Chain A
């Protein structure tokens, strides 16, 4: 049992880690085809894993309904929506699921008039969240916060026509702030991240980091 839980995953991680590194340096078509195959395997596994996700989702919400836990009505709506959407998808506007997916019918309607507007609404809420987060950050109570506030005001004025009307310096300073201090910090973070990624990858490939297997 320990072989399937620890040894085999470590062998798989080591083998495919090394293979992926080697393939990165080989431009030959054969190597690139092999790499595409690996990516395809990953997609196939992910597609099957979706069943695990659906199982987890249904089980958790079914239990909520069964035990009449707080907010069980939301769970009932979720399961009803899941079943309804699945049934409509399988019906495929009368052509059934073994034929090519139809571009018209109830499923595209649900996507266009329910799913997409709901997603867009959530995205729109972000604007209000940014305003409240900005208010908290830009309260000039300390020197760094005051500097941040000044930089933010200049950057924002530099991005809109009003800033240019006040002074041509605003777009110039805004651009400088974005291209010099901002880019420098961004690159600093990215360099640290790159080293962290290399280090973590090596720890995984050589089996030093095993926490993702559920062990130490």
Chain B
């Protein structure tokens, strides 16, 4: 009898414990591949359950296979991490306030991943051991105590790396999701101040990469429209070159004056490139302007110096200036050393060019491209030497400094229009005209967007949202 009572009491205790630890379950947890991504995320969503209380928390768990344990991979608190916080995936639906969402990017690794990592670690350990052997051989031969000390440090580092790589991989550690692998996901709810755990249903999903980013569909449409417009105007300008008007740009008009001034004074002209590499469109625009200026300089026979911060820009500039001198019929005047490399470091570049300004006292300075903090250093020094200065940049943070210290400044888009302005080539002028039409379209969109948003219709704003 006593034994039966003990069994009954034990069973009741166990049942009580189970009810404390696991007090029911909830449904509705869904897992799906995150859309418009590179295939490294799964979205876990679930409706806000009726039983949730303020202060409660949700724990998200994942497993890489049916036979493996669930591992905690993330969590969220009551009222936080709702679908409405992820418009990129779920839009701006008001119902999103009633659902939770979790972006699963890390989970326990699948067995195939563990096997692959183990094999690559074995290779790394083998290489490390060879390096260690080499260091130990050199240590035996080394007589200098200082170098011996360095080799001992290297030996310790290598040994530490080998020990780290030799340790077995933890199959429960969360790592980046493996694309295409099916993961099991569940959510655990924990009410505030209680040990109770409410488990959800188990959902399954695999992350796969997409071949088109739907979030960029509007960008694609606008790009096609603008590109079509530009190409159409270029084609039109080629057929009907007459009547293409481009408003006078004071800075461009002053180029001839600046070159003429230098010629009269017998002083050099400097063309100072910005800091951006050849991959930057502003540098390409600057090189286009350089070609046109170099041709005029060659016609006048004035000394022309081009400073470069990037070796690739240097190579392109040398070729451009050389061709311009050739076109002007003065290849004999071209000196390769006048288009030179200065330094890749920002302030070394600035100080070197400032030094040249002070020593050579140029009559005219041109600054075209993308600039950072060195802009004011360069232009203020140039202004102090009395040079006429013309600048052009799309770096809006440096525009105030150029306007302050230069005689003429080409702002933003004017830098890109300058090449067309100088060459008067109909096809280039056609593209500038298309830019103006594009600007009109943008202004109209902004006005419509402002009016609709003020009236409480935000769809235009959402249409141009970038994620």
Contacts and interface: CB of A to CB of B under 8 A. Distances in A.
A196 B417 contact: yes
A57 B146 contact: no
A46 B312 contact: yes
Contacts of A141: none
B423 interface: yes
A192 B230 contact: no
Contacts of A133: 376, 380, 401, 404-405
A29 B179 contact: yes
Interface stretch (B9-17, B72-80, B256-264, B426-434): B426-434
A156 interface: no
Contact of A27 (B210, B223, B394, B434): B210
By CB atoms of chain A within 10 A, which of B147, B210, B285 has the most? Answer: B285
B411 interface: yes
Interface in A154-193: 186, 189-193
Interface string B147-191: 100100000000000000000000000000001000000000000
A56 B314 contact: yes
A136 B404 contact: yes
A197 B416 contact: yes
A2 interface: no
A211 B376 contact: no
A28 B350 CA distance: 42
A59 interface: yes
B312 A122 contact: no
Given A29-B38, A32-B38, A122-B350, A202 B340 contact: no
Contacts of B291: 211-212, 214
A70 interface: yes
Nearest to B322: A214
Interface string B209-247: 111110010011001001100110010000000000000
Interface stretch (B62-70, B102-110, B341-349): B341-349
Interface string B403-443: 11100000111011101000101011001101100110010
B340 A57 contact: yes
Contact of A60 (B38, B337, B434): B337
B251 interface: no
B419 A209 contact: yes
Contacts of A45: 312
Interface stretch (B90-98, B113-121, B197-205, B276-284): B276-284
A208 B341 contact: no
B209 A28 contact: yes
B57 interface: no
A48 B147 CA distance: 32
Contacts of B417: 196
Contacts of A214: 291, 319-320, 322-324
A32 B210 CA distance: 11
Contact of A130 (B40, B376, B412): B376
B126 interface: no
B279 A42 contact: yes
A27 B213 contact: yes
A216 B431 contact: no
A52 B318 CA distance: 11
B85 interface: no
Interface string A100-123: 001000000000000100110011
Given A53-B311, A56-B341, A189 B411 contact: yes
A208 B415 CA distance: 17
A75 to B, nearest CB: 11
Contact of B347 (A42, A102, A119, A190): A119
Given A52-B315, A204-B284, A26 B404 contact: no
B82 interface: no
B428 A209 contact: yes
B359 interface: yes
A4 interface: no
A196 B435 contact: yes
A195 B439 CA distance: 8
B113 to A, nearest CB: 15
A102 B285 contact: no
A109 B63 CA distance: 51
A20 to B, nearest CB: 10
B250 interface: no
A1 interface: no
Nearest to A130: B376
A19 to B, nearest CB: 14
Given A27-B38, A196-B394, A200-B281, A60 B340 contact: yes
Nearest to B321: A214
A193 B423 CA distance: 20
A189 B291 CA distance: 25
A200 B377 contact: no
Given A93-B150, A198-B223, 18 more contacts: A25-B219, A28-B39, A29-B39, A31-B211, A46-B277, A52-B314, A119-B346, A122-B350, A133-B404, A137-B403, A190-B412, A197-B394, A199-B431, A199-B434, A200-B281, A204-B284, A212-B287, A214-B322
Across the A-B interface, give the 6 residue pairs with the lowest CB-CB distance, nearest first.
Answer: A196-B416, A214-B323, A53-B311, A192-B413, A122-B347, A49-B311
Interface of A: 21, 24-32, 42, 45-46, 49-54, 56-57, 59-60, 63, 70-71, 74, 93-95, 102, 115, 118-119, 122-123, 125-126, 129-130, 132-134, 136-137, 186, 189-193, 195-204, 206, 208-209, 211-216
Interface of B: 36-40, 144, 146-147, 150, 179, 209-213, 216, 219-220, 223, 226-227, 230-231, 234, 277, 279, 281, 284-285, 287-288, 291-292, 308, 310-312, 314-316, 319-320, 322-324, 327, 337, 340-342, 344-348, 350-351, 355, 359, 373, 376-377, 380, 394, 396, 399-401, 403-405, 411-413, 415-417, 419, 423, 425, 427-428, 431-432, 434-435, 438-439, 442
30 contacts: A25-B216, A25-B220, A28-B209, A29-B38, A46-B312, A49-B315, A51-B311, A53-B314, A57-B341, A70-B359, A94-B150, A102-B150, A123-B373, A133-B404, A137-B400, A137-B403, A186-B396, A191-B439, A192-B412, A192-B413, A197-B394, A198-B230, A199-B431, A202-B431, A211-B288, A211-B423, A212-B316, A214-B291, A214-B324, A216-B423
